[in-house]
Structure 1
Amino acid sequence: MDTDIIPLGERSLRSILDHVLAVGDEAETSYLEVKSALDPTSKAGVAKVAKFLLGAANRRPQEAARHFRGHAVLVIGAQKGSAQGIPRGVEAHELEDRLRPYLGPQFPAFEFGRISVDDEREVLFMIAQPPQDGQPIFPCHKNFQGEDRRDNLEDGAIYVRGASNTRPARAGEVLTLVERARGGGKSPIDLGVEVVGSIGRVDRIDEVLEQLYEFEEEQFSKPQNPTTKKSSPAFSAASIFGRTQPLSPKERAERLGAWRSEKRTYIAQGREHFLGVGLPGVGIRVVSRDRFVAKPHLIVTFHGCEVLDHRDADDADYRKVVEPVARQQDPYGIGFDASDYRIMPRDYPVAWSNRGDDAEVVLTWESFRPNVTWESGQDDYVILARNPQAGAVTVTWVLTEDGNNTVTQGELDVPTGDLTDAAKLLKAFFGDV
Structure 2
Amino acid sequence: MTELDTSRAPRGLLAAQALVKAAAQLGDLAERHYLELKSTLDLSQKKDKEKIAKFILGAANRMPDVAASVFEGFGVMLIGVAKDEIVGIPPVEMMDISQVVQKYLGANGPRWDIQWVPIENSSNQVLMVLVDPPLAGQGPFPCRASGESLTDGRVYIRADGQTREATSGELDLLLERGKACRKFDMDFSVEVLGQVAAVECDDATTVEDYLATKRESLLDALPKKSPRAESELQSGIADTGSIFWPKVWARNEDIEVNSLFMEPEERTEEQYRAEIDAWEDQVRHSWAGAKARIAASVLSPTIVKVTNHTSVFLYSVELKLDLEGNISGSDWLDLESILTPAALELPTSPRRWGPKRRQPFGLAHDFSRVSQMGNTLALVPSPISYENEGSVHITADIGDLRPRGVFESERDELVLIVTDRLVKSIHGSWEITARDHNEVFTGEIDIETAGVIDITEIARLILGQDIDIDG
TM-score (norm 2): 0.46
Higher CA-based Rg? 2
TM-score (norm 1): 0.50
